[in-house]
């Protein structure tokens, strides 16, 4: 019989990736059960779904989600630290390593445990960095991961886990003050002819908003003392669409029924 906490949750263990995955599945299962789904039917259906899936092409790397987040954090330093900017406020080209300011130094600031050469190679592979002679310069403030790369799926792990945590935390708070931001704008009757223009607008506004938030978080990080406790905080912006199913045209349309 497995050991559980008073609320029925699995024991917390940041070092055990298997426990983390089980906690993630537990959070999603609780969400479904709160919406009226039977846990017995969910277990049966989940087993059937997994039976249809192929084994992953890449073995699970428990450090991959953190590595993905920290790669983007390297770019945040580059775009916000005055030492990394030129007179026009643009990121300065930096050497890969060396005694002064370098890409390796930014990687170590994001996480001292990261391998700078591996981080640089990943950023180059996803075209977030480009070479300028012997120096490197960022091409964008965000990393657009190639879906063919093993690192790509991890970019959705932290937002998914964070969303579930926020939903459960807000429900547990009972609507009291101090709950985490969770808001949604939904239009159930939006014309499909305007979808492309709206998505383009939302993408531009969303990326601009995220850049502003990232700068705000970096300023707060820069003001903190070395001994101050740290936590991971993030904000996700995404568009979801429940596209209507196209009704199949009846084969009998236009035909005269005969008796």
List pLDDT tens digits, range 189-206: 999 999 999 999 999 999
Q: Where are the alpha helices (DSSP H) in 142-225?
A: 157-173, 195-223
Instruction: Give start-end residues of each CATH 1.10.10 domain in the chain.
Output: 64-138
Task: Please determine, looking at this structure, whether the domain spanning 64-138 carries the CATH number 3.30.2420.
Answer: no
CA-CA distance, 249 to 41, in Å (whole number)? 35
Distance CA 53, CA 49 (A): 7
Determine the pLDDT at residue 44.
95
What does the pLDDT read at residue 160? Answer: 87
Alpha-carbon dihedral angle through residues 19, 25, 31, 35, given to the nearest 10 degrees: -140
Residue 202 corresponds to which tokens in the numbers above?
Answer: 């939302």
pLDDT at 245: 60
Q: How many Cα neighbours within 13 Å face the side chain of 125? A: 15
What is the DSSP-derived secondary structure letter of residue 136? E
Q: Which residues of the chain have pLDDT under 50?
A: 1-15, 247-259
Report the first-to-last Cα separation within the chain, whole angstroms.
68
Cross-sheet strand order for the sheet of 135-138: 94-95, 135-138, 129-132
The DSSP output letter for 189 is T
């Amino acid at each position: 019989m497995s050991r559980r906490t008073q609320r029925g949750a699995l024991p917390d263990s940041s070092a055990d990736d298997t426990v983390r995955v089980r906690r993630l599945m537990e959070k999603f299962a609780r969400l479904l059960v709160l919406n009226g789904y039977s846990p017995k039917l969910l277990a049966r259906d989940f087993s059937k779904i997994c039976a249809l899936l192929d084994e992953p092409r890449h073995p699970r790397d428990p450090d991959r989600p953190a590595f993905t987040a920290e790669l983007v954090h390297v770019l945040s330093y580059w775009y916000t630290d005055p030492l990394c900017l030129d007179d026009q406020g643009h990121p300065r080209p930096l050497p890969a390593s060396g005694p002064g300011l370098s890409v390796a130094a930014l990687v170590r600031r994001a996480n001292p445990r990261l391998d700078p050469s591996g981080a640089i190679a990943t950023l180059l592979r996803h075209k977030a960095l480009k070479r300028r002679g012997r120096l490197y310069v960022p091409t964008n403030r965000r990393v657009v991961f190639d879906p063919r790369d093993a690192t790509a799926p991890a970019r959705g792990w932290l937002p998914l886990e964070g969303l579930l945590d926020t939903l459960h935390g807000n429900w547990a708070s009972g609507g009291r003050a101090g709950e985490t931001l969770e808001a949604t704008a939904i239009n159930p009757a939006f014309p499909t002819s305007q979808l492309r223009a709206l998505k383009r607008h939302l993408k531009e506004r969303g990326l601009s908003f995220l850049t502003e938030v990232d700068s705000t978080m970096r300023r707060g990080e820069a003001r903190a003392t070395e001994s101050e406790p740290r936590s991971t905080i993030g904000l996700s912006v995404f568009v979801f669409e429940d596209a209507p199913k196209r009704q199949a045209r009846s084969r009998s349309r236009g035909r005269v029924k005969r008796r």
